[in-house]
Amino acid sequence: MSFADLAHELASADQWLIRNVGRSVLTKTEGRCGQAGTVTRTEYVGLLDELEALGKQRAQLLAGLTDQALERRLFDERFGETTVWWIIVRGNLDHEAHHRGQVATYLRIISDTPNSTT
C-alpha cells in the first residue's frame, strides 16, 4: 500500500468502527492496494486531516462507552462471537498499529539514515 492507501485504510477503519460499534452483527471490510487512487499533495493532506478528525471522533466514542457496552456480545465475520471490547482492540486499534508499523518501515527505507533510531 502507498502512504495514501494507508491513510485511506486507517480512515476507513475508523469510519467502520464509528458506524458499527452499536450493531449486533458486523461484516468485515478489507483494504486493498490502490484504494486511494492517485492523489495530489493537497488531496493527501486532506486524507491526513480526515484521519485526524476521525481519530478525535473515535476517542470521543470510546470515552463514552460503559463497561456494559464494552462487554456486549456480538457476531463478527472475522472473529465469530466476541465482545465490543475485542472488536475495538483487535479489529481497530491493533489494525491501526499494524499499519503505523508499515509507515514507520517505509519512512526508514526512504530516509537518508535508514538505521537511525530517531
Q: Tell me, what's the pLDDT at 118?
A: 54
Q: Determine the average pLDDT of the residues in 21-47.
A: 80
What's the grid cell of residue 17? 468502527
C-alpha separations of 98 from 3, 23, 47, 76, 110 in Å: 14, 25, 19, 20, 19
Chain position carrying cell 487512487: 37
pTM: 0.76
Q: Read off the pLDDT of residues 60-103 as tens digits, 9 standing for 90 and up.
A: 999 999 999 999 998 888 888 989 998 888 878 888 888 888 88
Domains of the chain plus CATH, in order, are: 3-110 (1.20.120.450)
Do the beta carbons of residue 50 and residue 99 sit within 8 Å? Answer: no
Q: Which amino acid is at 53?
A: A
Instruction: Give residue 92's pLDDT.
Output: 83
Which of 9-18, 28-37, 42-51, 97-106 is least confident? 28-37
Query: What mean pLDDT is predicted for residues 12-20?
Result: 85
